[in-house]
Amino acid sequence: MALADLLERLERRTDTPDTPRNPVEVSTELAPILACTPDTPDTPQNINSEGETLGPETFHDDRRTCDQCANLEGRRCLAAWRGEIVANRDYEPIRDLLRRCEGYTPRAS
């Protein structure tokens, strides 16, 4: 009997005068599924004010490989060894990978 009383009290709490179960302004019908919009035509994203498409040669790439750096001695990065960059002291970078490094120092050549 205690379980039936508890269920009856819970049902009474859900129907309070302030919150009716189904107010008149709320519809019980499902909302219609809206059709998907068609795709927009593909347009180039890199367009300047004159409408010309900018090519990759227009953008300056300032990345360098470790082979171009004076801090690379053998396979070890001397900037990491001196603690100039955040890396292990025995850091051996991938030498032919383009990157922007805080410890980059151009070689004399």
Model pLDDT, residue 77: 93
Residue 75 lies in a domain: yes
The per-residue pLDDT for range 56-66, each reduced to its tens digit, is 666 778 899 99
> For residues 14 and 92, what is the distance between their CA atoms, to the nearest angstrom?
67
**Overall domain count for the chain:** 1
Confidence of residue 71 (pLDDT cuts 50, 70, 90): very high
In this structure, are residues 66 and 94 in contact, taking their beta carbons and an 8 Å threshold? yes
Residue 65 lies in a domain: yes
> For residues 15 and 103, what is the distance between their CA atoms, to the nearest angstrom?
70
Closest CA to 71 of 51, 49, 87: 87
DSSP class of 77: E
Residue 19 lies in a domain: no
Model pLDDT, residue 33: 65
Residue 69 lies in a domain: yes
Residue 89 lies in a domain: yes
Residue scoring higher pLDDT (45 or 87): 87
Place of tokens 């900037």: 79
Query: Which residues span the domain enclosing 87?
Result: 61-104
User: Which region among 4-13, 60-69, 86-95 has the lowest average model confidence (pLDDT)?
Assistant: 4-13
Model pLDDT, residue 10: 77
Q: How far is CA 2 from CA 6, 11, 15, 57, 68, in A?
A: 6, 14, 21, 80, 82
Closest CA to 66 of 35, 87, 52: 87
